[in-house]
Structure 1
């Protein structure tokens, strides 16, 4: 495949927007990383996760209470990913590099591999958003997310089985896809194989051993294999559903584009920032609760334009982005509520399954 690039020779929109955002932080003399609000929220999320885990493992509970706590634990894991890991992975959690590293490695504490995530997410997804073959986040097994993907006979039923795939996505990621990447050395089917440093080999196996011990072995020893396995599945499905839905509402809805590079030149005829706006959508930006829980990922447009800026600043940045888009006549995709975005996603995959 020809290396894909963007038409950045003349980029007045990007220059104007960057200058305005830089001026916002400069005139207020504030850092673009996280602040006390983020750190307090992080402590709350981690404390709740540890508390729920201890309660499930060491205290006798009615079955229905245990099931509810497992659901809450899965949601809590997703919230840690949205608010702590994601910020650390983008180096926006703190001005201190070591604190970004610690927060990024919360992914490994949840069974994932930050080394793989940074390549797949920071490089592939953020650079080539919604570009087939390069953004592996839109390459979902058994799902057709855009028209350039071949339509298989089973896609006509994807409007009915999507919830199953989204639910198992976290478990599949931790228990299968990471191993697929590890042994293949590739982030996706069309990716180039890369050698893995020795340090990362050690971290990978340590992570998988730790995850298995904490979330399967210890629970089995404490509460028995059946309750432990059922609880692990409930928490994993709850987490996976949250993670998958938030991503889909940001990129796989009506109105978002899936640009194709010129086959000869490998160039996409948009400046990079305009490309991000055409492939990304916001939702429910007026809801403080959703913004708090999702780590500002409902402000996905602002995140893709400025991934090194912490989500605590997105509401203010949002105003600058919208004003600049209006000035340069650049489309800005946004759904008023999460429900509206969710229905838009369902309509999108339903249409793609039919034709």
Structure 2
């Protein structure tokens, strides 16, 4: 386990140098449309910080739980611009019941429908989108960054009881003052909006493209199904091949099966756990799914298009749901 602190120190240094380079480029370029390249770089860097916030939420980085929680709060709210309390609550429920109907918030209807029954309820513009949602998935991700920022503010300004509400709001205010305000101070108004749009679009696509391959298109667990912990986590998760480059690109999410089985395991150790888990799956006869990144995107698009068929016409909807839901007892 000695590799863990050194690994995250190297990640922090790499990301820090990236931000330093982006800030230097922003200052030197001035009033230039080449600033959009800096905006794209910031979108990538913010996603890398989001990966670290995700790992801190899982208490993988530092030695104590409270220290990890503070780190997740500081970098999640103060740098990325998300709400740590909203993310932690949502993500905890996802890990407890991945792809389980009625319990996993990640398959609840938003703009995209992940279940046939939700797609069948779509009306108007929503139905038009749902019918084409597989092909529209990646274009829609350009709005996901904005959506995450809006969800953070909606959550923190809601009437529900939230521990540390003002601390989170304070960090968000400081973050926006240090990151967003300079864009509008030093760039012309139109260029500033374009800069912010590109940054949020790249952030949204990168985040969505990293999280979507993990579970979308895998088995959906029916509400009343009874599965043991191991089968539930493995059957609903998908790994991405690629080794070290995929681990850096996806923040360790390429080892999704191992991450769900050992959510507190730090990123550097997931690759070694993979061989053990694969062998155990073989022994138990539990499918272990691993594909390339491009194959996973093809699976996600095909799955979403199949679900979208339910929005076409309730009288000629294909019976796709019955074949996708796991109902093991």
TM-score range for the pair, normalised by the shorter chain length: 0.7 to 0.9
1:221-300 counterparts in 2 under 5 A? 221-253=185-217, 256-262=218-224, 268-284=225-241, 286-300=242-256
The 8 Å contact of residues 87 and 310 in structure 1, kept in 2 or not, is answered as yes
1:51-200 counterparts in 2 under 5 A? 51-56=21-26, 58-61=27-30, 63=32, 65-82=34-51, 84-97=52-65, 99-105=67-73, 106-109=75-78, 110-121=80-91, 123-151=92-120, 152=122, 153-154=127-128, 155-174=130-149, 176-184=150-158, 194-197=160-163, 200=164
Aligned with 1:298: secondary structure? helix
After superposition, the Cα gap between the structure-2 partners of 1:314 and 1:134, relative to the gap in structure 1 and judged at 3 Å, is same
**Which TM-score applies when normalising by structure 2?**
0.85
**Once the 2 structures are TM-superposed, how far is the Cα of residue 38 of structure 1 from its aligned partner?**
2.4
**Once the 2 structures are TM-superposed, how far is the Cα of residue 62 of structure 1 from its aligned partner?**
7.4
The 8 Å contact of residues 128 and 134 in structure 1, kept in 2 or not, is answered as yes
**Which TM-score applies when normalising by structure 1?**
0.79
The 8 Å contact of residues 93 and 99 in structure 1, kept in 2 or not, is answered as no
RMSD value, Cα: 2.0
Alignment partners' CA distance in 2, 1:313 and 1:77:
24
Deviations 1:314-353 (A, max 9, x none): 1100000000000011111111x11111111111111111
Aligned to 1:351: 306
Alignment partners' CA distance in 1, 2:29 and 2:37:
14
The 8 Å contact of residues 46 and 80 in structure 1, kept in 2 or not, is answered as no
Question: How many residues are aligned here?
Answer: 302
**Once the 2 structures are TM-superposed, how far is the Cα of residue 115 of structure 1 from its aligned partner?**
1.6
For structure 1, list consecutive stretches of 5 or more residues without a partner in the other structure: 1-29, 186-193, 263-267
Alignment partners' CA distance in 2, 1:280 and 1:125:
12
The 8 Å contact of residues 114 and 307 in structure 2, kept in 1 or not, is answered as yes
**Once the 2 structures are TM-superposed, how far is the Cα of residue 96 of structure 1 from its aligned partner?**
4.2
After superposition, the Cα gap between the structure-2 partners of 1:124 and 1:144, relative to the gap in structure 1 and judged at 3 Å, is same
For structure 2, list consecutive stretches of 5 or more residues without a partner in the other structure: 311-329
Alignment partners' CA distance in 1, 2:109 and 2:178:
29
